[in-house]
């Protein structure tokens, strides 16, 4: 098997490259390239490991024909076009905790730096000015910290602030009252926070809701003398309004680690008194960088070599332990989806995926993803488990997952039922020896067939002589039959024939087969 190839395109701790190599990947570290250079290169890689500098745009994804996974050594993934990656079937994963302590500590460091004007005092002292009377700071003890966003980083900042004997007021619509009590913070709405806070720190992602959350209007609602720290994402604070408020003295100090446009090589804020900044250094400690590098490389290599999925943002997790168990089920699910897609794909509005017996003990999401991927191969060459649920949703397909713990005739079963203009159609399959996918039911008729390679599907009136006739037709056209699977509703009723053939059955042979006496349907299938 050829090794998966991974590109590390942002500066990352060398442990990442080592882990990729140790876990069986070929890895290249090529950082600082232009988008054009990356577009020219990306087609050779199965995995792309990034931090925040590489912007994974639609254009880059379009050139990434082999790409299976993007791994973000860090938290924020706003530099990745996730809908485009999902549509293309590329898994996007991050490392949601590896740098949170470090980033929380940076927020606290910046809070102290603005409270005591440390950067400016340092600069003037080193310039030989000894400005002992030029600086008067404030204590943080007893002050109120307004926390916007109380997730992983916000919670750590809150704990540190409480340790510094501050009061913490938090605004986060998803913070439950119980969790607020547990954290020792007061849950508040945004206006209350703005009115109460002596310091405000931000810890939310940049979304349509949080963009400009500290707008000019909201900044005007803050207490005079407030100090503001943004270590989360540029765009949360209106930078022009912040400049005006610092100039007027309403805001006593501000510290930004992140800017609306990065790299921020110029800004009206630069040079403003009581304004300090760092170049997106929130995650830049040795500890955090080792954490995220190890984690992203492990997650990506595991996905590329075993199919295990951890911390993916566009697909359900699948542990390395689960992945081998699920693999044969996913193969069965994809084959059943594909069979349904090839035989009954017109006007599909609903699909139900039922798992029974041993299959019901497994994570249902990958099974559903595989059924949908098989089903939609009829429409799309690039569909896979990652993008199939998105494509199904886009098409308005109603997808249901049903679990039956009981065992029926088989110890494990997956049944796929679609609702078509002709009514419900159902196929079911099992695993022989827990490994070999087998079709066991086709549109209400019991059969037993391996779905593999080129096949032919025939529905006919069950009557003597038919099998001979079809055998002769295929033989005359040089088509060798591999396996022959027959099922029927009742003697003399409707019969289904599934043949595996050594080469595809072409149109003229299918047409002749359709004209044989008693034949209702003939179709070539491929798996």
Please identify every residue annotated as catalytic: 233, 262, 280
Between CA 342 and CA 524 the distance in angstroms is 9
Residue 41 near residue 20 (C-beta atoms within 8 A): no
Could you give the C-alpha distances from 344 to 125, 258, 340, 455, 523, in angstroms and in order?
79, 52, 5, 16, 11
Structure tokens at 517: 């006496």
Which residues between 45 and 74 bind ligand HPV (CB under 6 A)?
A: 51-52, 74
Q: Pick the binder of ligand HPV from 54, 88, 99, 299 (CB under 6 A).
A: 99
* Phi, psi (deg, nearest 5) at residue 220: -70, -20
Q: Does 518 bind ligand NAI (CB under 6 A)?
A: no
Among ligand HPV, ligand NAI, none, what does residue 51 contact (CB within 5–8 Å per kind)? ligand HPV
Residue of closest CB approach to ligand HPV? 74
Instruction: Classify burial at 170, counting beta carbons within 10 Å of its beta carbon; exposed 0-12, middle 13-18, buried 19 or more.
Output: buried
Residue 420 near residue 344 (C-beta atoms within 8 A): yes
Q: Does 51 bind ligand NAI (CB under 6 A)?
A: no
Beta bridge partners of 525: 455
Structure tokens at 348: 């599909």
x/- letters, 390..419, toward ligand NAI (CB under 6 A) = ------------------------------
Select 173 or 408, whichever has its Cβ closest to ligand NAI: 173
Which residues between 86 and 145 bind ligand NAI (CB under 6 A)?
A: 99-100, 103
Select 231 or 371, whichever has its Cβ closest to ligand NAI: 231
Q: Pick the binder of ligand NAI from 24, 173, 279, 465 (CB under 6 A).
A: 173
* Phi, psi (deg, nearest 5) at residue 12: -145, 150
Which residues between 70 and 89 bind ligand NAI (CB under 6 A)?
A: 74-76
Among ligand NAI, ligand HPV, none, what does residue 209 contact (CB within 5–8 Å per kind)? ligand NAI
Between CA 351 and CA 251 the distance in angstroms is 57
Nearest approach in angstroms of CB 233 to ligand HPV is: 7
Q: Does 154 bind ligand HPV (CB under 6 A)?
A: no
Select 47 or 282, whichever has its Cβ closest to ligand HPV: 282
Instruction: Classify burial at 401, counting beta carbons within 10 Å of its beta carbon; exposed 0-12, middle 13-18, buried 19 or more.
Output: middle
Q: Pick the binder of ligand NAI from 150, 353, 367, 470 (CB under 6 A).
A: 150
Residue labelled with tokens 């090839």: 342
Please report which helix (H) or strand (E) contains residue 199, including its range: strand 199-202
Residue 521 near residue 458 (C-beta atoms within 8 A): yes
Structure tokens at 20: 């990729």
Q: Does 500 bind ligand HPV (CB under 6 A)?
A: no
Pairing verdict, β 494-501 and 454-461? antiparallel
Please report which helix (H) or strand (E) contains residue 276, including its range: strand 275-277
Site size toward ligand NAI, by CB under 6 A: 31
Q: Does 151 bind ligand HPV (CB under 6 A)?
A: no
Among ligand HPV, ligand NAI, none, what does residue 204 contact (CB within 5–8 Å per kind)? ligand NAI
Residue of closest CB approach to ligand NAI? 151
Nearest Cα neighbor of 166 from 245, 112, 231 is 112
Please, how many CA atoms are within 13 Å of residue 131, restricted to the half-sphere of its CB? 15
Select 75 or 115, whichever has its Cβ closest to ligand HPV: 75
x/- letters, 247..266, toward ligand NAI (CB under 6 A) = ----------xx--------
Nearest approach in angstroms of CB 390 to ligand NAI is: 22
Nearest approach in angstroms of CB 8 to ligand HPV is: 12
Q: Which stretch binds ligand NAI (CB under 6 A): 59-67, 225-233, 403-411, 496-504?
A: 225-233
Summarize as ranges the residues that interact with ligand HPV (CB under 6 A). Answer: 51-52, 74-76, 99, 280, 282-284
């Amino acid at each position: 098997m050829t090794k998966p190839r991974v590109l590390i395109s942002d500066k990352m701790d060398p442990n990442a490259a080592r882990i990729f190599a140790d876990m069986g990947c070929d890895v290249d570290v090529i950082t600082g390239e232009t988008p054009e250079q990356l577009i020219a290169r990306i087609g050779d890689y199965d995995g792309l490991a990034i931090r925040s500098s590489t912007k994974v745009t639609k254009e880059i994804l379009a050139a990434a024909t082999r790409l299976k996974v993007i791994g973000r050594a860090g938290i924020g993934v706003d530099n990745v076009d996730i809908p485009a990656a999902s549509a293309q079937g590329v898994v996007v994963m991050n490392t949601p905790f590896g740098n949170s302590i470090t980033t929380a500590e940076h927020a606290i460091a910046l809070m102290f730096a603005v409270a005591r004007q440390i950067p400016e005092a340092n600069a003037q002292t080193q310039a030989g000015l000894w400005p002992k009377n030029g600086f008067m700071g404030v204590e943080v003890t007893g002050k109120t910290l307004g926390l916007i966003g109380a997730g992983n980083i916000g919670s750590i900042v809150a704990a540190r602030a409480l340790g510094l004997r501050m009061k913490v007021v938090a605004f986060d619509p998803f913070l439950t009252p119980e969790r607020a009590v547990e954290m020792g913070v007061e849950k508040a709405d945004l206006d209350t926070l703005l009115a109460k806070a002596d310091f405000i720190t931000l810890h939310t992602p940049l979304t349509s809701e949080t963009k400009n959350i500290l707008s000019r209007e909201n900044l005007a609602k803050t207490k005079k003398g407030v100090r503001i720290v943004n270590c989360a994402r540029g765009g949360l604070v209106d930078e022009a309004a912040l400049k005006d408020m610092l100039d007027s003295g309403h805001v006593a100090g501000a510290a930004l680690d992140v800017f609306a446009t990065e790299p921020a090589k110029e800004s009206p804020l630069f040079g403003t008194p009581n304004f300090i900044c760092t170049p997106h250094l929130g995650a830049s400690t040795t500890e955090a960088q080792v954490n995220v590098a190890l984690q992203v490389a492990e997650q990506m290599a595991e996905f590329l070599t075993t199919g295990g999925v951890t911390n993916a943002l566009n697909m359900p997790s699948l542990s390395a332990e689960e992945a081998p168990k699920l693999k044969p089920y996913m193969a069965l699910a994809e084959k059943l989806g594909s069979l349904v897609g090839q035989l009954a794909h017109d006007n599909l509005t609903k699909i139900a995926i039922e798992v029974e017996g041993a299959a019901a003990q497994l994570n249902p999401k990958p099974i559903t993803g595989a059924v949908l991927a098989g089903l939609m191969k009829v429409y799309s060459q690039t569909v896979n488990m990652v993008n199939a649920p998105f494509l199904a949703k886009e098409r308005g397909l109603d997808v249901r997952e049903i679990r039956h713990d009981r065992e029926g005739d088989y110890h494990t079963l997956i049944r796929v039922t679609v609702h078509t203009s002709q009514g419900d159609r159902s196929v079911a399959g099992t695993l022989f020896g827990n490994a070999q996918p087998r079709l066991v039911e086709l549109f209400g008729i019991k059969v037993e067939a391996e779905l593999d390679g080129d096949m032919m599907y025939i529905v006919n009136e069950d009557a003597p002589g038919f099998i001979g006739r079809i055998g002769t037709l295929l033989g005359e056209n040089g088509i060798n039959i591999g396996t022959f699977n027959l099922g029927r509703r009742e003697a003399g009723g409707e019969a289904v024939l599934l043949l595996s053939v050594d080469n595809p059955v072409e149109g003229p042979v299918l047409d002749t087969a359709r004209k044989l006496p008693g034949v209702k349907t003939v179709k070539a299938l491929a798996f």
